[in-house]
């Protein structure tokens, strides 16, 4: 087996305007909206760390400095908590090792592919992960850890997929599947939002990727695709056939926190599972439904 370069870098495209959540996102990045008591971006970064990723690359835009602040050391807050005898362990996962949080700016919103391309200098010649923080993936182990384990086995490029009912496929990108082995499926093609009767499978692409650095060269010379944006799906599709390309069916749950109902669902689902509040929340839900 050839030794594969380990996945140590992750790109988080967080430059979006979050218009669906206005006015909440007028002054606060939508990635900082909390599911209970942790901002969305924190769930993604925790998932990355669990998978052994060390460098977090945030592709940001104007007004997104709160994301970087969140992973900084909050000196006054910590000093005050210490004086009051409160434990600081609650802040542990929001503190980055100095130098591990890197931000690059996407000056113009030209699509996901362009956002990823903005990180090319930091990614360099290394394979890297991509997290779309809007998609909250809950599983044990986490989605990226499952993907890294698959990557160590097959290398190349990987995307996370979930199976949905056939009537829902037209809302997503789906894979054209080849051979399947356990949770791994060979990817022969990617189809964006197919009509139900034209869909090659019901395996939808969800927001986690492991890609080889060559994708950056592909994005470099790529023309604008759907919506006048530089699409990541188009660049990935060009790598099929040149490098190994697999999908990992995620054993876990996905919440679409880019939509308001998905956000509420995630909040409720995670609150019901928490030891400190689950019973109380269940009682509240039953009372409201009654």
Quickly tell me which residue has 């100095």 as its tokens: 98
Is residue 1 pLDDT above 50, yes or no?
no
How many C-beta atoms lie closer than 10 Å to residue 213's C-beta? 15
pLDDT band per the 50, 70, 90 thresholds, residue 91: confident
DSSP 129: E
- Domain match, 210 and 277 both: no
Q: DSSP 3-state assignment of 188?
A: strand
Instruction: Encode pLDDT of 192-206 as tens digits.
Output: 888 888 899 999 999
Run of H or E including 138: strand 135-138
Mean pLDDT of 243-248: 95
At 75, which CATH number?
A: 3.90.550.10
Q: Which two tokens stand for residue 13?
A: 């495209």
Residue 131 near residue 207, CB atoms below 8 Å: yes
Cis geometry, peptide bond prior to residue 141 (ω within 30 degrees of 0): yes
- Domain match, 63 and 172 both: yes
* Domains identified in the chain, total number: 2
Which residues have CB under 8 Å from 17's CB, separation 6+?
25, 61, 109
pTM score, whole prediction: 0.93
- Domain match, 140 and 276 both: no
Is residue 208 pLDDT above 50, yes or no?
yes
The neighbouring-strand residues paired with 211 are 128
Residue 49 near residue 142, CB atoms below 8 Å: no
Domain limits for position 288: 259-290
- Domain match, 26 and 143 both: yes
- Domain match, 235 and 278 both: no
In a domain? residue 3: no
pLDDT at 226: 67
pLDDT band per the 50, 70, 90 thresholds, residue 3: low
Residue 192 near residue 237, CB atoms below 8 Å: no
Rounded CA gap, 177 and 200, in Å?
7
Is residue 58 pLDDT above 70, yes or no?
yes
Instruction: Encode pLDDT of 113-156 as tens digits.
Output: 999 999 999 999 999 999 999 999 999 999 999 999 999 999 99
In a domain? residue 2: no
pLDDT band per the 50, 70, 90 thresholds, residue 2: low
- Domain match, 154 and 289 both: no
- Domain match, 271 and 213 both: no
């Amino acid at each position: 087996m050839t030794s594969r370069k380990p996945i140590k870098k992750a790109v988080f495209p967080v430059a979006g305007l979050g218009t669906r959540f206005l006015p909440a996102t007028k002054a606060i990045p939508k990635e900082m909206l909390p599911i209970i008591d942790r901002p969305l971006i924190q769930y993604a970064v925790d998932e990355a760390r669990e998978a052994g990723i060390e460098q977090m690359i945030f592709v940001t835009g104007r007004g997104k400095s709160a994301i970087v602040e969140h992973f900084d050391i909050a000196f006054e807050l910590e000093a005050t908590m210490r004086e009051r005898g409160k434990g600081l362990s609650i802040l542990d996962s929001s503190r980055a090792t100095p130098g591990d949080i890197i931000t690059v700016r996407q000056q113009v919103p030209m699509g996901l592919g362009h956002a990823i391309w903005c990180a090319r200098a930091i990614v360099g010649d290394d394979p890297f992960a991509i997290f779309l923080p809007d998609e909250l993936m809950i599983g044990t182990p986490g989605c990226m850890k499952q993907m890294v384990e698959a990557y160590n086995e097959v290398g190349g490029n990987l995307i996370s997929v979930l199976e949905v009912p056939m009537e829902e496929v037209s809302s997503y990108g789906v894979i054209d599947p080849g051979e399947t082995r356990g949770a791994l499926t060979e990817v022969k093609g990617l189809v964006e939002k197919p009509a139900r009767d034209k869909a090659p499978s019901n395996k939808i692409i969800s927001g986690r990727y492991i890609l080889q650095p060559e994708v950056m060269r592909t994005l470099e010379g790529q023309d604008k695709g759907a919506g006048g944006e530089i699409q990541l799906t188009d660049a990935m599709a060009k790598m099929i056939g040149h490098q190994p390309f697999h999908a990992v069916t995620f054993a876990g749950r996905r919440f679409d926190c880019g939509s308001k109902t998905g956000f509420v669902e995630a909040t409720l689902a995670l609150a019901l599972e928490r030891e400190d509040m689950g019973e109380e929340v269940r009682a509240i839900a039953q009372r409201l439904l009654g």
